[in-house]
């Protein structure tokens, strides 16, 4: 079974020595059918994304501003997906969704 890894560029040689392979099409490192995945644990995408930053070298992000009006790009924990108004394709505008569509 294939297991994708998040290997920083600086650590690519270490991953390669352990048997990781480079997928040029998807631009990521991976391993296939390894019995012992312990050496690759530090590059596991789920562990790295779920864990808090361990070093103080990571710059802190500013807190997201509360949404005060429509048309503001919200990212992070303040993001809320708007419900679909109709079943048309997102890039098409029908009479039902014209009021909520972005203007060009």
pLDDT by residue (tens digit) across 24-78?
999 999 999 888 888 888 888 764 444 444 444 445 555 555 545 556 666 777 7
pLDDT recorded at residue 61? 55
Q: Is residue 9 part of a domain?
A: yes
Q: Is residue 56 part of a domain?
A: no
Q: Is residue 45 part of a domain?
A: yes
Taking the C-alpha atoms of residue 28 and residue 6, their distance in angstroms, rounded to an integer, is 7
How many structural domains does the chain have? 1
Q: Examine the pLDDT at 17 and tell me if it is beyond 90.
A: yes
Rounded to an integer, the average pLDDT of 10-28 is: 91
Rounded to an integer, what is the distance from CA 103 to the centroid of its chain? 28
Residue environment code for 66-85, b if the CB has 16+ CB neighbours within 10 A, otherwise e: eeeeeeeeeeeeeeeeeeee
Q: Is residue 98 part of a domain?
A: no
- The parent domain of residue 11 ranges over 2-50
Structure confidence at residue 14 as a pLDDT band (50, 70, 90): very high
Q: Is residue 23 part of a domain?
A: yes
Q: Is residue 21 part of a domain?
A: yes
> Greater confidence, 19 or 85?
19
């Amino acid at each position: 079974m294939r297991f994708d890894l998040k290997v920083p560029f600086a650590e690519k040689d270490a991953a390669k020595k352990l048997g990781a392979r480079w997928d040029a099409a998807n631009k990521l490192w991976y391993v296939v059918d390894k019995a012992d995945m312990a050496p690759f644990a530090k590059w596991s995408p789920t562990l790295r994304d779920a864990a808090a930053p361990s070093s103080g070298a990571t710059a802190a992000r500013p807190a997201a501003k509360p949404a005060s009006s429509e048309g503001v790009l919200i990212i992070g924990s303040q993001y809320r997906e708007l419900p679909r108004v109709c079943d048309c394709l997102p890039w098409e505008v029908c009479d039902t969704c014209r009021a909520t569509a972005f203007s060009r």
